[in-house]
Amino acid sequence: MGLNLFKGSGSDDDDNNSKIEINKEFARHFEHNKKREDLQRLEDLKKKGLTGDIDDNSPESSSDEDEDDLVVSGKKDLEFLNALIKVKNRDPILKQKDAKLFDYDDDEEEEEEAKKPKLTKDKPMYLKDVVAKQLIEEGPEFEESNTTSGVKSY
């Protein structure tokens, strides 16, 4: 006969159906394989340099530059959090025109200035930009000297 799921309990069949047996050997192998996969992924990430863990034996861990970067980024994080708190609390200092949320170092400003000229040099010039430039320089009466009337180029 089939199971009566909606009848009241009281029979021994309900106790037998609620037991779940765990294959302990399979569970042990499964856990072992998962650990091996995780270790392999960690090793792959270390090879690519994407892990945040730094080994004590690696030459990167003794670098002073890394420590300086961490200190600088910590200061920037602190400044950002302070500014965020001021904005959330609607601090009246922010309504002033000369209010500064962040203190910029001279080194950072020099780096930003060095980046700006590179961006303008690499900007492509489109046809509309060339035409606009020529109209500004020569005026609306400017005629191209290379145009020949009536000759088809194909």
Residues in CB range of 5: below 8 A, 6 or more apart: none
Q: What is the residue extent of each domain of the chain?
A: 23-52, 64-139
Predicted structure pTM score? 0.26
Q: Using CA atoms, how far apart are residues 100 and 83, in angstroms rounded to an integer?
A: 9
- How do residues 35-57 score in pLDDT, each as one tens digit? 999 999 888 888 887 766 555 45
Selection from 94, 102, 98 nearest residue 78 by Cα: 102
pLDDT, tens digit, 9 for 90 and up, residues 75-101:
788 888 888 888 888 888 878 888 777
